Amino acid sequence: MDIYPLVYSRVRTNQQSNSRQVNSLREVEGFEVIKIFTDSISGYTKSITERPKLQKVLKYIQEHDVECLMVNEISRLGRRTEEVLTLIKNLKDQGVKIYIQSLGKLINQEKRNQASDFNEKEDGF
């Protein structure tokens, strides 16, 4: 069964390209990407609320029935731990799973907690 995610990709500067992240996420088996959002902005100096494309992702999620968000690495969501954990929780509360490619993990699944999402050694979803 395929999962239909949004893709969010972020690089730090306009001189960098999002194409590696996006192409890599498009190739993940079991996922059929429905929409792609890319940012060229620092995740450390800019908070989540200051990143326009991430705000568009969050608005799109609120307005549509989105089942999953894909990112290349957890750091693409942000560099501030508390802010990223809050975002993960908010997405979980909306029923949105997050696929983190660098971990090969789908988190925010029902009846699971965040700690077990990161600590399990299973390869399956």
CATH number at residue 30: 3.40.50.1390
Tell me, yes or no, whether 40 lies in a domain. Answer: yes
The share of the chain scoring above pLDDT 90, in percent, equals 59
Choose the weakest-confidence range: 11-20, 43-52, 78-87, 98-107: 11-20
Domain that holds residue 57: 5-103
User: What pTM does this model have?
Assistant: 0.82
Tell me, yes or no, whether 64 lies in a domain. Answer: yes
Q: Domains in the chain: how many in total?
A: 1
Average pLDDT over residues 53-76: 95
Residue 1 reports pLDDT greater than 80: no
Tell me, yes or no, whether 124 lies in a domain. Answer: no
* Rg of the chain over all Cα atoms, to the nearest angstrom: 14
pLDDT of residue 17: 73
Tell me, yes or no, whether 118 lies in a domain. Answer: no
pLDDT tens digits for range 81-113: 999 999 999 999 999 999 999 999 999 987 544
Tell me, yes or no, whether 70 lies in a domain. Answer: yes
Cα 98-77-75 angle, rounded to 5 deg? 105
Tell me, yes or no, whether 119 lies in a domain. Answer: no
Average pLDDT over residues 58-68: 95
- Residue 107 CA to chain centroid, in angstroms? 10
